[in-house]
Every structure is written in C-alpha cells, then in structure tokens.
A = this chain, B = another copy of it.
Amino acid sequence: MEKLPFQLKGLAAAVYTPFKSNGDINFGVISEYIDYLVKDGVQNAFICGTNGEGISLTFQERKEVAETWKHENNGRLKALVLHVGSGGIRETQELAAHAEKVGVDAIASGPPYGVKPRNLEELALYLQKVASCAPTTPFYYYHLDMNNSVKFGDMEDFIDILQQIPIPTFCGIKFTSKDLAELARCCRHPAGYQIASGHDPLLLPALAAGANVFISGTANFQGKLFSGIMDAFNGGDLQTATKLYDQLLKHSNIMRKYGPGVALGKAVTKLARFDPGPPRSPLRPVTKETEAMLKNDLQKIGFFESIN
C-alpha cells in the first residue's frame, strides 16, 4: 500500500465527459483536453463526478472512460481521481476494483444513488465494503450537499465514526457543500484527513476556513485565475487574492444567471477551449440563443482575457 498516505496537491479539475453529437463518448478529444488543463496549471483531474456525468454513463462506458484518461494522460496530470459511485453496491465495488487495476491515483464514492443509508453509520459500513475492493487505492468520500442530494449529517461526526468503522484507504473528503463552518471543523479534526473544497464561488472564504485543496468545475477553463487566488492567499497577499476573487465572482454571477450546471459549463468550455459536446438527457444543451448571450456576457466581464 505504498500509495498511502496520499495527498492531492494543487488544483483538480472536475472534468466533463466529452460526447459526440450522437451522444456517444468522444474519446478522441481527451488528450487535447488534458493539454488545456496542464497549460492552465491544473494538476489533477476528478473524473466521472457530477461534472463528468458519471452516473449517466453505462457500466461499460465508465470503465472505458477510466482506461482512456489513464492511458491518454500518461503522467501529464499529477493525479487522476475516479468517482466510482453508482446506483448500488455491487457495481460500485466492481468499478472500484477496476479502478485499482487501471491504476488511477485515487477513487471517490458517496452513498449509492438508489437505496440510501439511513445514518452515518450505515454510510460508513457501505463505503467500507466499497473501498475494500480497491485495497491499495486511496479513497475519498464524495460529500455532495447540494442539488437535491440528501445530506448525511455532519462530516465531523462522520470522521468520528470512521474511527469505529475504519476504512484503511480513507484519505479525505471531496466536500461539495456551502457549509464552511463544517469544513473548517473538519480541516481541524485530529484525524488529519484532506478536505477538498468543491464549491467554486467559495474559493477565497474556503481558503480562509482552512481548505488547501480544491476540486473545481471552473478549473476546466479558469485554472489560471483559480491558481492565482490560491497562490496569492498562500503567499499572504490578501489584496491580490481578493482582487482576483472579484473576477471569479463576476464569472459565478453569469453562471448563476443562466442556471449553473453541466450544460452551461460545457457551453463555456466550448467558447473557451474546445467543444466537449452536448450533455446527456435529462440535461439539455444550451440553445444557440443562450450561447450567444452567454458569450456576450463573458466578453463584458473580461472572461476571455482572464483565461489566456
């Protein structure tokens, strides 16, 4: 288990899964995608999460996506974290085992998308069963407390419970929630797990709360700005950090205006970098009209200058 203790370093992009116009996965653009990320200073990818529409892929596709990212990356991004959560336990376990075979750097899972645990103890028992199928691969809990997901109690309580229901490969939490007081407490827990913040508009406050690693959707096109804020804050230059954060919030406001989400993020990626194609149903691609308005709004706030 030489990979442990494992620590993500720097910025991770929560990457999209590119699709062709017929809805099939567009494996051919993944290498170019990685180029863009690396050029922007992004160091890691979080694959098949919410942004990656992992749960909208078939079991077979998820394996192929993992294999392709591993093969195409070829060491360029420092770490590949693969989300293996699915509808139920057996496929999640198989995806975990497959991930270890493929050789990703870490895996992540939340509760199953179907039948829900009733409390944190049942959640820990479930995750213990999942993580045991990838016994040498670092494991992150995917805490998603937004977008109609069910909140499972307090993450500090969860970390306490893990002392009773141990998961040997447990490394930390992908903390996609707005509750920075909870994040601040988790960052100070003596267990010392890594708490990776996942809500982009909270970047600067999350740094102040104690987060030092981020898994970000914005990093798909704004890695430089994101890293700039982190670097300024870590260097003690709050003034610069705040000025860059102002720019990030301008972008967040546009995302909020058009409805945040994967469809919109893919549209921005198309305008900014390369075309990741449409999302899968029930998501719908943004219309031509929205795309035009979006482009106009992004130009007004200097988005395209900020990413180059």
Contacts and interface: CB of A to CB of B under 8 A. Distances in A.
Interface string A41-62: 0000000001001111111010
**Chain copies in the assembled complex:** 4
A56 B90 CA distance: 7
Interface stretch (A114-122, A133-141, A166-174, A294-302): A114-122
A148 interface: yes
A246 B123 contact: no
A89 B201 contact: no
A282 B246 CA distance: 36
A181 B176 CA distance: 13
A114 B56 contact: yes
Interface residues of A, number: 66
Interface string A100-128: 00000000000111111110001101100
A292 interface: no
Contacts of A57: 88, 90
Given A114-B56, A185-B252, A88 B123 contact: no
Contacts of A111: 282
Given A88-B56, A111-B282, A117-B282, A181 B181 contact: no
B185 A115 contact: no
